[in-house]
């Protein structure tokens, strides 16, 4: 890994929290993600399985974790299984974890090679009363390929068809929504790296550049800071910003345009998510400033509205009501539009058509049940926007915010946001 590893106490605490949720005599098993192919003999860089990383801090392919808190033999209660290093795989792929390295990284005493897994699985599963297996259950996931988890589920159920199998994902979703202090600090460091990238962009952006040039400035800071992009960056100038998931980043930025920057850094696999919209020439026009300030007012109000006990859908509705008023003031909506709207087709959706925010952590759109009232320790994004294709521009603003009982804490409070500050920093180019 190219970043400093997180303290093993984080993963030890996470495992203890999961063990406390498991019913008696429960066995839980987790797998690493596959390394996905591209074309010819190519493959993508492996992205760690977020759940496995949450419990171990391990990023290595083919890793398995076995948790059986009530095993009669205490040596079988927690075991990490690793791919065994050899001269060939290290020659072609690089260093593989030794047992002692994995023990130091994870806080797990029992570390074994994968060759021992089948025998140990048979031993513990015959003692267990129920088996918790894991899959990706994010409500917006759409996966057309069979995953390592899928293959493992099929195989273990084939071998042991009379066991009771249960879903591990709901328990992990419940745990991962509430961030520990160590996790919050990891997200804060990702936000700080995002700030470095954005301040660099403010110093360098000018008419005539490509959107790709802006992406490169972020990449420089993220890579130098031992991080990476948390997601594919959006650098969208002019009408490109009206495409919500624009990722071409290839147009030339022109004087008088705005450029929407939806870019966040990830560090130690914890993510940040930021959106800023800046004037390519360094100064907002009067019309651009009107729309910018409207979006900013919604951002401020909806950030302040984050609190334990708030329900996500009610928070969303509140933002849409406020945005409707802003759109009326801007002349984008007319009173007749409000009279014609329905519950299924509110007028505001013409210019603000997406969700206001989402949980963030080990995944950018983090797991969790959004019907659950918000809690102290959740980390959320707030991202209102106004999209006006007929004027070839869009403005979205987004911060990453910690929800606490004492009030929301903006983890991006140091990232320039006010229009006057952005203009002042761009004048120094």
- Do 355 and 220 sit in the same domain of this protein? yes
Tokens in use for 299? 């951002």
Other CB atoms closer than 10 Å to residue 428's CB: what's the count? 8
pLDDT tens, position by position, 21-45: 999 999 999 999 999 999 999 999 9
- Only one residue has tokens 């007929």, namely 390
Residues 162 and 211 in one domain: no
Work out the average pLDDT over 378-398. Answer: 98
Q: Which domain holds residue 347?
A: 181-427
269 and 349 inside one domain: yes
The band of 429, judged by pLDDT with boundaries at 50, 70 and 90, is confident
Here the CATH number for the domain that contains residue 358 is 3.90.230.10
Tell me: do 211 and 134 sit in the same domain.
no
Distance CA 125, CA 324 (A): 57
C-beta atoms surrounding 144 within 10 Å: 4
- Confirm whether 3 is domain-assigned: no
For 324-348, how does the pLDDT look when each residue is reduced to its tens digit (9 = 90+)?
A: 999 999 999 999 999 999 989 999 9
Domain-ending residue, one of 134, 158, 177: 177
Say yes or no: 288 and 420 in one domain: yes
Residues 360/379, Cβ–Cβ less than 8 Å: yes
Q: Which residues of 147-162 are buried (b: 16+ CB within 10 A; e: fewer)?
A: bbbeebbeebeeeeee
Which residue, of 177, 200, 220, is where some domain finishes?
177
Tokens of 129: 């009363």
Total structural domains within the chain: 2
The closest alpha carbon to 230, from 104, 384, 364, 328, belongs to 364
* pLDDT bucket at 284, cuts 50 / 70 / 90: very high
CA of 164: how far to CAs of 25, 27, 125, 137, 328, in Å?
A: 11, 11, 10, 19, 57
Strand, coil or helix: 17: helix
Question: Integer distance in angstroms from the first to the last C-alpha of the chain?
Answer: 35
84 shares its domain with 222:
no
Instruction: Using the predicted structure, report yes or no on whether residue 405 has a pLDDT greater than 90.
Output: yes
246 shares a domain with 135: no
Residue 234 pLDDT: 98
Q: What pLDDT was estimated at residue 142?
A: 84
pLDDT for position 91 = 93
In this model, does residue 292 exceed pLDDT 90? yes
228-229: strand order across its sheet: 228-229, 265-267, 270-271
Q: How many CB atoms lie within 10 A of CB 392?
A: 14
Question: What CATH number does the domain containing 142 carry?
Answer: 3.40.350.10
Average pLDDT over residues 358-381: 97
Q: What is the mean pLDDT of residues 210-239?
A: 98
d(CA 426, CA 282): 5
Q: How confident is the model at residue 421 (pLDDT cuts 50, 70, 90)?
A: very high
């Amino acid at each position: 890994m190219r970043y400093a590893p997180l303290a093993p106490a984080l993963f030890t605490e996470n495992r203890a929290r999961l063990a406390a949720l498991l019913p008696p005599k429960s066995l839980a098993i987790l797998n690493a993600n596959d390394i996905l192919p591209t074309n010819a003999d190519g493959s993508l860089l492996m992205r760690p399985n977020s759940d496995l990383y949450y419990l171990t801090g391990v990023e290595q392919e083919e890793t398995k974790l076995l948790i059986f808190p009530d095993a009669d033999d205490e040596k079988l209660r927690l075991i990490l299984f690793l791919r065994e290093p050899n001269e060939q795989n290290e020659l072609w792929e690089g260093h593989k974890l030794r047992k002692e390295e994995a023990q130091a990284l994870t806080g797990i005493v029992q570390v074994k090679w994968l060759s021992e897994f089948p025998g140990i699985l048979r031993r513990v599963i015959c003692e267990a009363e129920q088996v918790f297996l894991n899959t990706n259950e994010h409500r917006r996931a759409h996966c057309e390929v069979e995953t390592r988890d899928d293959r493992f589920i099929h195989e273990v159920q084939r071998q042991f068809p009379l066991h009771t199998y249960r879903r591990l994902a709901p328990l992990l979703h419940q745990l991962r929504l509430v961030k520990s202090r160590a996790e919050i600090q990891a997200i804060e460091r990702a936000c700080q790296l995002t700030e470095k990238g954005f301040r660099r962009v403010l110093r360098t952006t000018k008419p005539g550049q490509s959107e790709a040039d802006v992406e490169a400035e972020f990449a420089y800071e993220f890579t130098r800071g031992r991080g990476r992009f948390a997601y594919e960056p959006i650098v969208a100038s002019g009408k490109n910003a009206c495409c919500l998931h624009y990722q071409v980043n290839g147009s030339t930025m022109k004087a008088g345009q705005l450029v929407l920057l939806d870019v966040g850094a990830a560090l130690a696999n914890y993510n940040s998510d930021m959106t800023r919209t800046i004037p390519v020439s360094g100064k907002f026009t009067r019309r651009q400033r009107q729309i910018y300030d409207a979006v900013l007012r919604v951002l401020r109000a909806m950030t302040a509205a984050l609190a334990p006990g708030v329900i996500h859908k009610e928070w969303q509705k509140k933002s849409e009501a406020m945005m409707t008023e802003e759109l009326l003031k801007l002349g984008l909506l007319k009173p007749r539009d409000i009279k014609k709207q329905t519950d299924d087709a509110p007028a505001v959706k013409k210019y603000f058509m997406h969700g206001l925010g989402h949980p963030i952590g080990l995944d950018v759109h983090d797991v969790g049940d959004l019907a659950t009232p918000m809690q102290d320790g959740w980390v959320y994004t707030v991202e209102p926007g106004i999209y006006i294709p007929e004027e070839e521009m869009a403005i979205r603003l987004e911060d990453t915010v910690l929800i606490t009982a004492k009030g929301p804490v903006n983890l991006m409070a140091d990232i320039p946001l006010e229009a006057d500050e952005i203009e002042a920093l761009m004048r120094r180019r």
